[in-house]
Structure formats: C-alpha cells, structure tokens
Structure 1
Amino acid sequence: MSMFDKIDLHLIRVLHTVLTERNVSRAALKLGMHQPAVSAALKRLRELAGDPLLVRSGAGMVPTVAGLRMIEPAADILRSAEVMFSDARRFDPATARHTFSLAASDYLDPFFLPQLVIHLKAAAPHCAIDIHALSRDADYRAHLAQGTVDVVIGNWVEPPGDLHLGRLFGDEVVCLVSNQHPAVRRGWDEAAWLAAEHVAPMPAYPGARGFIDEHLARKGLARNITARCPHFGLIPAMVAGSLLVLTTGRQYAERYTAVLPVQVLPCPVNFPRMMYYQLWHERTHASAAGRWLREQIKHVAASLRQPEHVAPQEAA
C-alpha cells in the first residue's frame, strides 16, 4: 500500500489543527470530535511520519521540527481542497480563470457570436473563449462527451434526445433575394419558388438534409438548388448580385437589408418555425461554470431577439 492510500483529507485536517492548537483537547473541540478519536488520529500520523510531531514542553506541547515543517503544507492542502470543491458549487466570473469552448452554427443571427464574446469578456475578463465551427466534419456528440466542447448551438429539425437541451428562440422562415429579383415585382407562388435558383449551405454530412429540405421532402417537394456554400455568412452577398434565393430565418435575413441591396420576401411554402437550441452533455450539466455559460448564451440570444420571436426557455 502506498503512502497516499494511508492518508485522507480528514487526517490532514487533524494534523493541521493539532499542530496549530498544540493541545489535543482544544483540537478535539475545534474539530467537533471526541478526544480519544483525535488521539487515535495523532497516533496514525506519528506512525506515518516516523516522528512524534507534537511533544510535551513544560505544561504544554510543542511541534517537533518535522511537525513545524508540516503546518504550512497541510494548510495549503486544505485551502486547495476547499477551492476545488467550492468551485464545483459556484462560479465567480469576475475572478475565474476558465476556458469556455463552444461550437456554433453560422446560420445563427450574425450578431449573435460577436455579442456573446463581447458579453463574456466583459463579465468574465480572465476567461478564454474557444469557438469551433459546427461543420460537416464535426462530431459534436463526441466533442461534448469528451469535454472538448461545453455547448453546441444551432438549429435542428429534431434535436437529439440524448443531450440536455435549452431552447433559445424560434424564427419565421422567409426568403432573402436581390432587389432585382423578379419575385420582388411579380410575387411568386409555390411552383415559382420551387423552380427558382436556390443557394443552400453544404449538408452537415453526405446525404444529409437541412431544416428547409427536410421539411420539403416530407411534403414530397424539392427545390432547385444551383449553388452551395459552406460559409453561410457569405451567402447574402452572393444573393445580392444574382438571382439566387436564400431561404432562412427572418432574424438572420433582416440583418442584411440595411447593408446589401436585398429584400426579405414571404416564403410561399408553409414552414414551421426554425427553432434554435443550445445542447450540452450530462458531464457538464451540474457544473457551476457550465450553468453560468448557458445562462449567458440564453441572455444574449434574448437580447437580440426580434419582437415576434418566441421567448427563450431553457430545459431543466
């Protein structure tokens, strides 16, 4: 049996208390223990140290040289243990030194990630932030399980049931087109919309369908996708100079109407609202830092939400 197997935190606490109180009776009172139990613990400590640790001197007791050397290391161990377990229960963003890691879809409101980083850096100035792309090559379930990512943010037709889920907001499906697109003047019906040239993000994995195409497939429909791009943030500029149609959430689309020659049109196909979520694994569910991060994500999402959007809710 190794030395570590013979020592527990309670024994270290007895050691520190006996050495600082220099009296077994006072140490027992401070520890809330019976004196024989403290004496028994001191006997174990003496055997482990190979030293008496505390010896009589006149009417009192004093630590030996070895005992004196143990006072500060024992205090360090107790302080570290207190910090370790208190940090598991609470998180102080003002003083914490922690790395937050999240993966996010770029289909989100283009203001979301910038505002989230600004908010996190203001509230937790000593914490680092790692943002990973939610790409077709990313196995986000594995990253959450392994702890390389704390939270995944995106939209799913049916969110995975094996992860914790917090709803951020819902969004109306609309179309973003150039000011010069014929539908701006003529309008369109379902057939015209399906036949138009569409631009879409690259699938999450080969053969996968996103929110729009999954819903169309369930209705037995398919749109005419003539361009795909893995960088969602570049698509509005492509739309502005072409006859391509981007079908996405209103909150995303309306961010570009003031900076590009584009307009938002209603979609002639009836879609359910696009729902955006944050997902996390059981391993971080009870983490104080994890809970704090999820609250900040929810707060920023709510602050950017358009009036018609659904109020955010986080699952327990």
Structure 2
Amino acid sequence: MMSNRSNFFGLSLRDLDILRSLLSERSVSRVAAQLGQSQPSISAILRRLRDIFGDPLLVRSGQKMVLTDKGMLVSNQIDDLMNRFGELLESDETFDPATSERTIRIAAATSFEFFLVPHLITELNRVAPRCRLELFVPTLQSGVETERETGGLDAIVGNWPVPPPHLKHMPLASAKLACLVCVSHPIPAGTQLTLEDYLRLSHISPSSPKDLSISPIDGMLARLGLERRVVVSVPDYAIIPQLLPGTHHAFTVGQRYAEHATKNGKLKMLLLPEELGVMGFYLLWHERSQSSRYHRWLRDTIRRLVREADVLAVPLPQS
C-alpha cells in the first residue's frame, strides 16, 4: 500500500485534469469533445479512476449523470488541488499576465459583479488572454467564513456591513441605494421612505434565505435590531426588475441602476431611509496571498478598473 501512495497510485496531472472536467461536466461525451479525444478513451480513463478511488464517482440517474458522495467530495477539492499545482509550476516571482495560464477565481457580490465583470473581462482579454476566469457569488456555503476554503479564491468583492475578520480587506467603492417598485405602487415616485415604510414593503432579494446574514441590507437592518420581509429570492440580479411590474414588491438597488431601470416607464424609484442610504463594497483576500506577485497584480487590476472606469454605470448593450 505504501508503494502505491509513493507514486500517487499511478495518477498523473493529466488524469486529475480529466477527472476535474468529468466531475464538472458530468458527461463523458462533452469532455471527449472538449479535449479532442474519443469517447472510449475518456471512458477508459474514467474506469481506471473509479478503480483507483474505489468508487463510481459518476452514476446515471435518469437521463443525466450525477456525482456520488465520494465524487462530490473529490469535486470540492480537486479545483483547489490543481490550482495549487499550477502555482507550484509557475514561479510567482516570474509571473507574467501575458503568458500566464492561471485560473483566476473571484467571488463577487451579485450587485457588483453585474457592473464589474464586463470591464474585468475586457481587461483580461487585453493583458492576460490565456488566463481563465471563474466567478462565484459569495455565500456561507462557498466558504467566505472559513479560512481554509477561502484560500481557494484569489479575491472576493463583498458588500456586507462588517467584513469577515479573518480576511484582509480594503474599500473599493460605495453606492447610494434606492427602491424600485411597479409604477402602479401606491407610494408616489421619489418618496423618501422612513424605516417603518421600508419594513412594511414586500421585498425581492438576490440573496438566498440561508445567506441573509451576509446580505448588505439585511446586515444593516440586523445591526439596528430589525428585519425586513423578503417574499422572493432570485439569484439572477439582472432579472429582478422584470419581476416587479404587476406586483407591490420592492427591490433595493443602487440608485444609478434604479434611475436607469425607470426609463421604460414600468417602474418608479423610492428613496431609502437615511439609515440604509449607502452600501459599501470591499476587496478581500486571504493573508497567505498578501505578498504574492500574482495576487498583487490581480488586486491592483481590480482597484484600477474601479478607479478609472465608471464601474457603477449601467452596462450598455453592445451594438
């Protein structure tokens, strides 16, 4: 058994990379097409991986493949493992964005991701065309509260009132807040809400009910000993304004975005109570990446985009 462990059971980095793709895509045919290989060759690799791990890893359930418990465990760890191998093979002191093939992993609050990501993709395409970008939404399940798992992310853009204490952070930007409601809502457009008015509204939120403790609005209310009534939770930030017409629901959002959304004549804007008037955004990272040349470049890139580009402007459709 010890000899097997000493040679990693015959596993190569290529095997692990294929395993990562299989667990992510959950399809032998798609992985084969991505890698330009035949399905039988990928199936053979999957059989060998199953023997090595002593588990099917992927099993059929109806018309699709699903992960076994062991497959889920491996899937949760293999991305971090492969990224760390990449960092070992690519000397940090010689990091060059123009030639790097790193996977950049960023968790960004949906209310900032919507604005930042188009600028970030354009910038990476220009200066780091071979890098790969993976985006996540910060959640309790994604590990923003755990030191070990957060190490798998290169940067986090958060907007909770109090940043997690185990992470280093710096302010990025701030935005005035407003409420979007249907144009037929009984409260007149432009009304300055009181806290009591705001709490009486029925709210739509982009935060999962499990993650309200790291939601910026709910976090600010919790510090005041208050709680709003969230009746709909939708993870797609951009679709929420389309859900408001015909309801009395409210969506709390940046004021500039609210002003833009009212131009279609279906929505109107209400002003938030002074206690909830401004939302701050932070750039956060783990202490272990404080001095890394790659991570410094990434943080500087994000900060420069926020400083130089009008990242809180509503992105215009490309002609």
Corresponding residue of 2:158: 154
Q: Which amino acid aligns with 2:281?
A: Y
- Return closer, same or farther for 1:305/1:231 CA change in 2, 3 Å cut-off: closer
Answer with 1 or 2: which has the greater Rg: 1
Give the counterpart of 2:287 among 266, 269, 282: 282
Structure 1 gaps, min length 5:
1-83, 308-316
Superposition deviation, residue 181 in structure 1: 2.1
Corresponding residue of 1:125: 129
Superposition deviation, residue 299 in structure 1: 2.0
1:145–1:281 contact (8 Å) kept in structure 2 = no
* Structure 2 residue 315 is matched with structure 1 residue 304: no
TM-score where L is the length of structure 2: 0.60
| 1-structure distance, mates of 2:201, 2:122 | 39
Corresponding residue of 1:139: 143
Corresponding residue of 2:213: 208
TM-score where L is the length of structure 1: 0.61
Deviations 1:240-269 (A, max 9, x none): 442211123324434534467323321135
Q: Which moved more, 1:286-295 or 1:262-271?
A: 262-271
Corresponding residue of 1:93: 97
| 2-structure distance, mates of 1:182, 1:170 | 30
| 2-structure distance, mates of 1:85, 1:230 | 36
Corresponding residue of 2:234: 229
Deviations 1:248-293 (A, max 9, x none): 3324434534467323321135225211111111221111111111
| 2-structure distance, mates of 1:242, 1:132 | 30
Deviations 1:225-254 (A, max 9, x none): 322223333222112442211123324434
Corresponding residue of 2:258: 253
1:135–1:204 contact (8 Å) kept in structure 2 = no
Q: Which amino acid aligns with 2:310?
A: L
Q: Which amino acid aligns with 2:237?
A: F
SS at match of 2:99: coil
Q: Which amino acid aligns with 1:192?
A: D
1:100–1:150 contact (8 Å) kept in structure 2 = yes
Percent of pairs with identical residues: 29
- Return closer, same or farther for 1:261/1:298 CA change in 2, 3 Å cut-off: farther
2:105–2:154 contact (8 Å) kept in structure 1 = yes
| 2-structure distance, mates of 1:131, 1:109 | 9
Deviations 1:197-239 (A, max 9, x none): 2222334636736222232333344333322223333222112
Report the number of matched residues: 224
RMSD, aligned α-carbons:
3.0
